[in-house]
Amino acid sequence: MARIGNQKKKGFVKPITAKKQTNVDHVTGEKIPKSFVFSRGKLPGPLRQLQMDLRKLMLPYTALNLKEKKRNNLKDYLNVAGPMGVTHFLILSKTESAPYLRVARTPQGPTLTFKIHEYSLAVDIAQSQLRPRCPKDLFKNPPLIVLSGFGTGDQHLKLTTIMFQNIFPAIDINTVKLASCQRIVLLNYNKDTKLIDFRHYSIRLQPVGVTRRLRKFVQNHQVPDLRSLQDVSDFVTKAGYGSESEADDEAATVTLASDLGRVNQASTKSAVKLQEIGPRLTLQLIKVEEGLCSGGIIFSEYGGEKKQDNKSDRKKDQDNTGSDDEDESEDEDMGEDESEGQEVDEED
């Protein structure tokens, strides 16, 4: 009789599946905007760091470790953007005069071209602060977007407003969780100088009427050093370092609808504190194109629309002349197109 050996039963092992990001926005019902941040042409070291800062700013719906190669062109990024659900491109470039930032909607545009007048990296802003703040989960959720000064009625400013509003996911104030609102991006347009101030802040809440010493005691879960004190009440009443009344400004206080951490409780007043984390940019909108880095010019700071009108009128006049004149006019137009292409290549 055959002997049956002891066979161990193999337990069921549940496969580990990576948690996928949701591709549909629960507020608008549309797909969540995603972005690529890359460069065209060779960039110096500071602009390379600015590119990484912009990628961190666009987290979590961006490719933080996007690899670029010299042979890659715009069409290569566009072919990859479709299957990955990428909706926006942020393109950095550098010419002899100034660096530029292009913000484009895929796959058919429009494209906004900004001239970067000034910029500061995130590391420079952190070094200038006494207590820089950058928690680990700060970039876990997308930032809020606030636009100021864009309501002048101009078409190019309306396009700028729509572009930046759609580059981040929309929020519903009735269902949004306060813990997810940790960053804010502020764009302020100055109609006198025609410059846009681009700022990136972190948001934190502090309970009103609670000293810094008590806040640290609750947050750190550590037993305080009471050796130099006569009584426990001295620990509570003794003034700590820093301004204890800095959070008592009524204009910056809110009443929380739900608990937020161990310190900020529901139905209590908390002060909203903003701390800049960078990068910091000063931008000027110089051109708006209909397509993806191509097409007709909707707006140009340097009078591109007038140039196009003059060219069309000149072509009409040349069409009325003889065949020999038409051949000469075609040669002149080709020369002008080649010169414009050289200028675009220099910007790229």
Residues 235-270 pLDDT 10s: 666 654 433 334 445 557 766 666 666 566 565 677
Question: Are the C-beta atoms of residues 67 and 15 closer than 8 Å to each other?
Answer: no
Average pLDDT over residues 190-194: 94
Tallying the residues shown for the chain, one arrives at 348
Residue at token pair 């846009």? 196
Integer Cα distance of 230 and 235 in angstroms:
9
pTM above 0.85, yes or no: no
Average pLDDT over residues 205-224: 65
3.40.50.720, 3.30.300.210, 3.40.50.10480, 3.40.190.10: which CATH number matches 34-231+249-300? Answer: 3.40.50.10480
Which two three-digit tokens encode residue 201? 């802040």
Instruction: Specify the pLDDT at position 178.
Output: 80
CA-wise closest residue to 86 among 37, 20, 146, 140 = 37
Q: How confident is the model at residue 77 (pLDDT cuts 50, 70, 90)?
A: very high
Q: How far is CA 183 from the centre of its chain?
A: 10
- Rounded to the nearest 5°, which phi and psi values hold at 198? -110, 120
| CB contact burial 213-245 (16+ within 10 A = b; e otherwise) | bbbebeeeeeeeeeeeeeeeeebeeeeeeeeee
Calculate the CA dihedral of residues 46, 48, 52, 58 and round it to 10 degrees. 100
Instruction: Specify the pLDDT at position 253.
Output: 72
17-34 residue pLDDT tens: 555 556 776 666 678 999
**How many CB atoms sit inside 10 A of residue 55's CB?**
20
Task: Judge whether residue 7 has pLDDT over 50.
Answer: yes
